[in-house]
Amino acid sequence: MDTVTTAAELRAHVAAWRREGARVGFVPTMGNLHNGHFSLITLCRDAQGDRADRVVASVFVNPTQFGPNEDFARYPRTLAQDRIGLAAHGCDLLFAPTVEEMYPFGIEQTVRVEVPAVSASLEGERRPGHFAGVATVVTKLFNLVQPDLAVFGRKDYQQLLVIERLVRDLRLPIEIVGAPIVREANGLAMSSRNQYLSAEERDRASLIHFVLLGMQGEVNAGRPIAEIERLAASILEKAGFVPDYAVVRSAQTLLEPAVGQRDGLIALIAARLGKTRLIDNMLIDPNAPVSALFETNHVPMTNLLTNL
C-alpha cells in the first residue's frame, strides 16, 4: 500500500489505474480505525459483486464538521497504526492530507456544500453546521478521487442519507454503498469514540443496542410511536444516559411516520454516557419474530424499565 499526502500524488495514482481499466473504490475515514472501518474496505473489494479493483482510503480529521464544543482537538489520531490495518485489509492507497491541503484558502474562506431537508433534523439539529462540514469535505474528496463507488457505514445513518442525496442532486457518477453496522460482542456499535468509555461505561453502553431491539419489538407489537419513544428515553435516563433523542422515523426521509405506518421505519438513538456521545440505529424489520428480539425471549420495554 502506498501513502500520499497531496492532491497531485493522489490523482497521479488514480489516473494510472484508470489507464489500466481499473474500477476504483473509495472509503473516507477520520482515522483511529477499527474492525468496523476495515469491513468497509472488505466490502469495497467484495468479489461477489461489481466492486472495486483498486481501493483508496482517506484518513482526515475534518475540522469543519466539529462544533466549537466538540472533540476535534482530542479526537484520536493514530496514522501509523491505521496504515498497518489498512494494508492488512487490502487497501491499495492511503490519502492522508493536511488541513492546508484540503482547505487551501483556509477553513473560514472555503466553499461550502449544504444538503437541505435530510440534514435538518436529529444530528443536524443538535450539531449545527455538522452536515455542511461533512458534505463539503466529502465533495472535495469525491472530486479528488473520482471513484466509481464509495462505501459508508450505516452506523452514521443520517450521514449516509446526506451523502446519497448529495450524489443524486449533483449528478455525481458514484455508486454509494451502505455497509452493515459492526458490533462488539455485547452489541455496542463499533466507534472510534468508544475508547473514551471506561470499562464500566463500555459494558453499560450495550444497553443502547437492546433498547433499539425493544423499540423494534414494540413497533411490531403495534404500540404507539410516541409511547415507544418516551419509554426508550426513560430506560436510557434510568441507566445513566443523557439522551439527545430516541426516535422512530421513516427510513427514507427521517420524517415522523404517518399514522399507522409500520414498514419502512428506523429506530435511532443518540445519547451521552459520561463524556462520550454515542449514536446507533436499527432498521425495523416488520417480519422479525418477537421471540428473537432479545436473543432468548422478548422483554417488553415497560418490563425492561422496571427491571433496571
| Cβ-count burial 168-203 (b if 16+ within 10 Å, e if not) | eeeebebbbbbbebbbbeebbbbbbebebbeeebbe
Q: Catalytic residue at 37?
A: yes
C-alpha cell at 203: 459494558
The residue with cell 422479525 is 288
For 78, the 3-state DSSP assignment is coil
> What are the residues whose beta carbons fall under 8 Å from the beta carbon of 1, sequence distance 6 or more?
83, 86, 87, 91, 92, 93, 94
Strand partners, 95: 4, 58
Q: Are 115 and 25 in contact (CB under 8 A)?
A: no
List the catalytic residue out of 13, 34, 37, 130.
37
CA–CA distance, 290 with 66 (Å, rounded to integer): 39
Question: What sign for the dihedral angle of Cα 213, 217, 218, 222?
Answer: positive
> What are the residues whose beta carbons fall under 8 Å from the beta carbon of 284, sequence distance 6 or more?
215, 216, 219, 220, 248, 251, 265, 266, 267
Active site amino acids: 37
